[in-house]
Structure formats: C-alpha cells, structure tokens
C-alpha cells in the first residue's frame, strides 16, 4: 500500500520553468513537491544534455588547432564538459534543498491516477500525491528515426553523441535542423569528416536564399559535405562501420547522429486519467495562460508544444507564477520578437520576419544586408579570424521599424537580443544606425549595414 501526501503545488520535472517555480513558490510559503525521474537530469535538459554542454563542446571544438589530434582533443573537451555539468547539477540541487517548503523526490517516475493526483514510483516503493495545482514540466526527448537499423550500435542521439567513443573519423548526420547543424559544425572542427544528410533541396528552407547560402558556405569551408534531397531508407552495420542508405546514395560512417527533431515527453504520464488533452504531435494542449484541459493543471516548457527554448520555458514560469501568486497578468500572447540562435560557427541568429515573409505579407520594406567580410565598420570578426556570414535587416519603409533580422556572424547570439529589444520598444532602424557603439564590437555593424541597401532592394 502506497503512502499518500498532499501538497499545495506538485511539479513534475526539474527543467527551467519547474525549478524556478519551485524556488519562487517555496520561498513564498507554498508547499511544493518537485518530482524528477533522473539524478542526472537535476536542473533539466538545458544544463545537463542540451544548451550548456553542447555549447561548451562547440567552444572547445573552435579552439582545436589543425595539428591537434582529434580524438585526444575531443576526449579532453568531454572531460571539461562533464566537470562543468557536474558543478551545475550540484548547484541546481543546492538552489532548492535549503528551502523548507520544497520537498524533492528524485529518482522516481510519476503518472496521473486521477484529478490532480499523481502516483510516484521508485523501485518497489510508491507515493501518491494530491495537489491543489499540478505543473507538468517533463520536457522533450529525441524523435525516433523510423527506418530499419536506426537502433544500431553506432546510431546516436544528441545526448549519447556527446560521449561517443571511439571518436568518429567519419560522422553521418541525419537531419538539418538546429541540432543537426550545430553538431555538423562542431564535429567538423573536432576533426571528423562530416556528411549532413538533408531531405530538402537547400539548408534552412524557411530562410532567405542569401542567408541560407551564407550558413552553407561556412559549413562547407569547415569540411562538411552536405547531401541534399536525400531521404534515409535504412542503416546497415557490418560490424566495422555503419552505412546510411539514402535515396541519393550511401554514406559510410563510424558513427551516425539521428537529429530528426524532438517530441514532448508524455509517455507514461497517464494523462488520460487526469483528462489532459494532447495535440496531434503528442504535446500537451494549453491555452495562452498555459492551462491544460484539466482544471488546476498547467504544462510548461517543451512538453506544451511551444518553442523548445530555455528562455521560453523561463517565460512560461512567469505566466504561471503570476496566476498562482496574484502578480501582474502575463500571457503567451504578450511575447513579441522572440529571438533564436543556432550555434554553428559562426552562430546564426534570427528574430522577426525574413525578407520573403515580409514581402509575402505585403509589407513595403527596405532591405539592408551585407556579407560580414565586407563590413568595414565591424573589425571584430577579422580580429577573431572568422569572417563568414551575413547581416541582414528588414525595415518597414514608412515607419522605420525593424521587422526582422538574420545575423550570421560572431556574437550573433548577443546582437540579436539588442535588435529584438528595439523591435519590442519601437526603436527605429535609424536610431540603431546612428547609435554610438563600443569598438571593436559586432554591434558596430549596425552603423554600416543600416546605411546600405543592396541594389534592387
């Protein structure tokens, strides 16, 4: 017979939104129980297997010199990665353990057994928890590649590839989304011969052609082979190598990365028992206040089908916290100009409309764009020895408001935040153009690019 407890707030999953809500509500005097399935996931996906460890590896890959042995360098980079993650994992536990009102249940699975009732199982022990409010924060997991051989010993997801051994002299990557692009750039710089298998006719199909071409050029200059129009049909393994069979030819490899997307982690949660609806993709359906179809149950982070970004999850926590504490109302509808970054080398960041999207919407626009290597006012990329890229902004002709930007350049992950803020606050393109920026910085590009319009644009 299982033990039964009651709590004000039950949070399932220790991701960004969950841990931040647990800390804020616990400090406010609310009784919080936080359930996390895995010791290795304390702190959530971002710090353990996602954003932070992969970017640590990207940085180490960028530091490798041509004469450095790839396998030795990679192993040392993984050691540094693991040391960093161990510290962050411990720090995340320490954030919540001292809060008396927060109860941590780690190493246990959770499943709904009724309205706001969850059964938690660890080994043979069970604990049933009833709560006034339940917050589901279980994140997302890699999508399974549905072809024969996808479960072979040399086939990895983005988590297991971070510890691949031995280091692959040849790496095949199936999928050209953000994860596929980041790992292609990273492993090429570590020293792998990388083949990127892309079903489309070009990379970044949602982007303008000039922007996509810039990213492609950087990858090919790093040594990445890109196979376009290629659908994977099976993966064979003869005991010495894997061979990815595609409609455009065979790709032999020492390791294969399946990077075909991530799906909401809802398996085994017993959502039906609580009347929680999911959409066609398996994500929990929520409204703009992140309420599910079950009263008193919220879904935050990747599991609710929104953008799979840590900073979006952080904003999710603010939306829910306001409702539980009576703070200023906040909604997903309030989100404007949310930026994204793909951490290739150099990184590629985007906010707002592309040129194509603006024209399709009927906007009267001025396009400002220049290849990074031609921006005289921005010497920072030259000082770093990385001049790949393009900076492109789309501006409304009548209002001078920035409608969107594509930034493929060093420091793009920082510059995009400034442009996003300008879009949210109504700061004009002319104000950005005439700004006084530090030197040498990537921001200086705005002085020159916003004063230049390519011919015919």
Residues designated catalytic: 439
Alpha-carbon distance 210 to 207, whole Å? 8
In terms of Cα–Cα distance, which of 18, 227, 36, 47 is closest to 133?
18
Dihedral over Cα of 37, 39, 40, 43: its sign: positive
Alpha-carbon distance 75 to 63, whole Å? 14
In terms of Cα–Cα distance, which of 440, 370, 442, 449 is closest to 402?
449
In terms of Cα–Cα distance, which of 380, 417, 347 is closest to 432?
417
Alpha-carbon distance 99 to 116, whole Å? 23
Tell me the CB-side half-sphere exposure of residue 110, using CA atoms within 13 A: 31
CB atoms within 10 A of CB 221: 10
Q: What secondary structure does DSSP assign to 355-417, as a single string?
A: HHHHHHTT--EEEEEEEGGG-TT--HHHHHT----EEEEEEETTT-BEEEEEEESTTHHHHHH
In terms of Cα–Cα distance, which of 338, 355, 335 is closest to 416?
338
Q: For strands 125-136 and 232-237, give the pairing.
A: unpaired
């Amino acid at each position: 017979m299982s033990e039964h407890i009651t709590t004000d707030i039950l949070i399932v999953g220790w991701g960004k939104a969950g841990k931040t809500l647990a800390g804020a509500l616990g400090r406010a005097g609310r009784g919080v129980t936080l359930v996390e399935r895995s010791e290795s996931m304390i702190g959530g996906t971002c710090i353990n297997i996602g954003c932070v460890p992969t970017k640590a590896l990207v940085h180490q890959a960028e530091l490798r010199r041509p004469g450095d042995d790839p396998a030795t360098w990679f192993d040392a980079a993984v050691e540094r990665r693991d040391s960093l993650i161990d510290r962050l994992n411990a720090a995340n536990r320490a954030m919540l353990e001292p809060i008396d009102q927060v109860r941590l249940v780690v190493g246990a699975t959770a499943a709904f057994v009724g309205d706001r009732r969850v059964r938690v199982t660890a080994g043979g022990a069970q604990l049933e928890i009833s709560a006034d409010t339940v917050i589901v924060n279980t994140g997302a997991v890699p999508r399974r590649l549905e072809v024969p051989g996808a479960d072979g010993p040399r086939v990895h997801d983005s988590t297991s590839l971070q510890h691949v051994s031995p280091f692959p002299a040849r790496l095949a990557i199936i999928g050209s989304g953000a994860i596929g692009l980041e790992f292609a750039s990273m492993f090429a710089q570590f020293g792998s011969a990388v083949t990127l298998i892309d079903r489309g006719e070009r990379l970044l199909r949602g982007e303008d052609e000039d922007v996509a071409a810039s990213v492609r050029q950087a990858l090919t200059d790093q040594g990445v082979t890109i196979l376009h129009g290629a659908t994977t049909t099976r993966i064979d393994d003869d005991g010495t190598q894997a061979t990815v069979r595609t409609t455009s030819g065979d790709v032999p490899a020492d390791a294969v990365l399946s990077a075909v997307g991530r799906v909401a982690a809802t398996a085994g949660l017993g959502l039906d028992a609580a009347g929680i609806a999911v959409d066609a993709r398996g994500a929990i359906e929520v409204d703009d206040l992140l309420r599910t179809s079950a009263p008193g149950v919220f879904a935050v982070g990747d599991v609710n089908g929104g953008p799979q970004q840590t900073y979006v999850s952080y904003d999710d926590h603010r939306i829910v916290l306001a409702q539980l504490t009576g703070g200023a109302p906040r909604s997903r509808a309030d989100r404007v100009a949310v930026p994204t970054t793909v951490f290739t080398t150099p990184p590629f960041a985007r906010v707002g409309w592309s040129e194509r999207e603006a024209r399709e919407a009927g906007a009267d626009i001025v396009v400002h764009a220049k290849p990074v290597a031609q921006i005289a006012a921005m010497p920072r990329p030259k000082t770093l020895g990385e001049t790949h890229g393009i900076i492109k902004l789309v501006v409304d002709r009548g209002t001078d408001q920035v409608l969107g930007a594509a930034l493929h350049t060093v420091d793009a992950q920082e510059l995009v935040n400034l442009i996003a803020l300008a879009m949210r606050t109504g700061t004009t393109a002319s104000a950005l153009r005439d700004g006084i920026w530090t030197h040498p910085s990537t921001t200086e590009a705005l002085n020159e690019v916003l004063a230049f319009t390519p011919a015919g644009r």
